[in-house]
Amino acid sequence: MNLRDLIIIGSGPSGYTAAIYAARAQLNPIVFTGKEPGGQLTSTTEVENFPGFPNGVTGPDLMKLFRAQAEKFGAEIIDSSVDSVDFGSKPFKIFSSGQEYNAKTVIIATGASANWLGLESEARFRGRGVSSCATCDGFFFKGKDVVVVGGGDVALGDALFLSKIANSVKIIHRRDCFRASDIMQKRAKENEKIEIIFNSEVFEIKGGLSVSGVVVKNNKTQETSEILCNGVFVAIGHSPNTSIFKGQIELEEKMGYIKTFEQTKTSIDGVFVAGDAADYKYRQAITAAGSGCMAALDAEKWIEENN
């Protein structure tokens, strides 16, 4: 049996940072990158809020640097997804592409995926005017007209944030009222830069090299209209990539995020979590990287105490 000190499931800022710290600590980690090596940042164009890059860096380039640094210190990176896990006994069992891997400790860094509208045009303009992260990409729309799709606290929070940067913000919501908290609704309705469009859904996103507008359908009257805009922010939630851990580890009941105990510890002794698989509040590259560092240090300490 080839027993490893640590296996990291998932890449992105949290997984790669955990790999850097673990490899430098001589834990000889394996990293399974998953279906989307590098995580959500690989679908992002310019990243201007990650420290150390005053002129910005593309998401894919940033993740290439993370990966290269992990490999430099000896992390073994496998470009494959984990199919299932067995945390019921030690050593932990990880199954990928028909092979079994064994580890003393595991770090889950599978992240979360943005929920999208499912439009062909949305996928085409992603990274070219369509975004799921206002705090990440809002700066690029300074003085421009933008649309926010959604009706929860995140959508209204994005709209309020964007109102400080953009020329105008239109919130498009498919229902006749918001599900957001009263205070967020009050702030949005009182903001002069924000216009609210109820009972409407985005039917198509239009443009050439970048977004120029959206086609909106009123779901009461079935009438369609076009709204001119330069950016579309989809704020209908995120889903954590944690389905393979159901029944193996304790998850939050409503949303499916991994429950944490004492920072990065999970309900299973020796299994740790980093990044957006547990973080539904901040969801930033820098916070994910920080939690990856913490998880690696916690795993290292666990190994020292249990060897």
Question: What DSSP designation does 126 have?
Answer: B
- 3-state DSSP call for residue 201? strand
Instruction: Tell me how far CA of residue 65 lies from CA of 13, 19, 58, in angstroms.
Output: 10, 13, 11
Question: What DSSP designation does 246 have?
Answer: B
Instruction: Tell me how far CA of residue 144 lies from CA of 195, 213, 221, 294, in angstroms.
Output: 14, 12, 29, 39
C-alpha 39/C-alpha 80 separation (Å) is 13
Of 61, 86, 136, 298, the active-site residue reads 136
- Assess contact for 26 and 9: CB atoms under 8 A: no
Q: Examine the residue annotation and report whether 269 is marked as an active-site residue of this protein.
A: no
Phi, psi (rounded to 5 degrees) for 256: 85, 10
Computed on alpha carbons and rounded to an integer, the radius of gyration of the chain in Å comes to 21
For residue 165, the one-letter residue type is: I
Of 133, 158, 229, 298, the active-site residue reads 133
Q: Examine the residue annotation and report whether 136 is marked as an active-site residue of this protein.
A: yes
- Assess contact for 86 and 248: CB atoms under 8 A: yes
Of 5, 61, 79, 137, the active-site residue reads 137
Q: Examine the residue annotation and report whether 137 is marked as an active-site residue of this protein.
A: yes
Longest dimension (CA), the chain: 68
What is the token pair recorded at 47?
A: 């990243």
Long-range contacts: 247-256, Cβ < 8 Å, 24+? 248/85, 248/86, 248/87, 248/88, 249/87, 249/108, 255/280
**Tokens 């499931």 appear where?**
9
Mind telling me the catalytic residues?
A: 133, 136-137
